[in-house]
Amino acid sequence: MSPFPPAPGLVVEGLSKAYETASRPLFEDLNFTLAPSGRLAVLGRNGQGKSTLIKILGGVLSPSAGLIDWRMKASWPIGFGGGFQGSLSGLDNIRFIARIYGKDAADIRERVDAFAELGTKLKMPVKHYSSGMRARLAFGLSLAIEFDCYLIDELVAVGDARFQEKCRQELFERRGDRAFLMASHDMHLIASLCERALIIENGKAKMFEDIEEAVDIYTWLRAA
């Protein structure tokens, strides 16, 4: 085993996000790295910017300032359905995304169909999907295309207990060697899966190398 830590798969420097209508930045001067197999929790009370950070890292939103240097292939935010074209069917959206990533559309369709369990509903326009169906499609696509790092924003409880267990196994067990960043309020999930945590509070962020300490402090913040 090498005595040196692995080179980071993600480097974030001086990252800030501000809106013109807000009195202060949502967050500013965020600095952190993520190892190729690192598991980082992003914690923050509602409105502190954790979901915004995940979307910025996934390329959905632009930062106001700072550097994001991806050195590994990252997913879009899992469960985020904003990238779908509503007038197209689920199948057409699958073909489009497969083309973007240079993947075989038939193979991706087969993987999504087997995982998302949407059946003939894949032929329906996505605008007619329920939120749960959209989440199934997005989750299935996220797992049909292999990534080095998964961006997870508050995993939605999609489907029954059997399907939720299937999601957990696919993401956290079969891809246990991958990196991920996870924003969640579920402290049991965070404590059991993550190694470090970034807590965002009042526009500032602090990194905790001890996940139990981070969970304790975040639990206190939520109760305050």
Residue 50 lies in a domain: yes
* Selection from 78, 46, 58 nearest residue 221 by Cα: 46
- The tens digit of pLDDT for each residue in 80-103 reads 555 677 889 999 999 998 998 999
165 part of a folded domain: no
47 CB-near residues (< 8 Å, 6+ apart): none
Report if residue 117 sits inside a domain. no
pLDDT of residue 6 exceeding 90? no
Give the pLDDT band of residue 3 (cuts 50, 70, 90): low
Say if 122 falls within a structural domain: no
Tokens of 208: 């905790």
List the beta strands (DSSP E) in the chain: 10-17, 27-34, 39-43, 65-70, 74-78, 149-153, 179-183, 196-201, 204-208
Taking each helix axis as running N to C, give the angle between helix 90-100 and helix 105-116, from 0 to 180 degrees, rounded to the nearest 10. 130
pTM equals 0.86
Q: Is residue 21 part of a domain?
A: yes
CATH of the domain at 224: 3.40.50.300
Residues 6+ apart with CB under 8 A from 90: 118, 121, 122, 123, 124, 126, 129, 137
CA distance 17 to 12: 13
- Mean pLDDT in residue range 191-212: 93
Per-residue model confidence as pLDDT tens digits over 156-200: 555 667 777 887 888 888 888 899 999 988 898 899 999 999 999
In sequence order, what are the beta bridge partners of 199? 43, 206
**Residue span of the structural domain in which 2 resides:** 1-73+150-156+177-224
Domains contained in the chain, number:
1
Residues 6+ apart with CB under 8 A from 82: 60
44 in any annotated domain? yes
The helix/strand/coil state of 78 is: strand
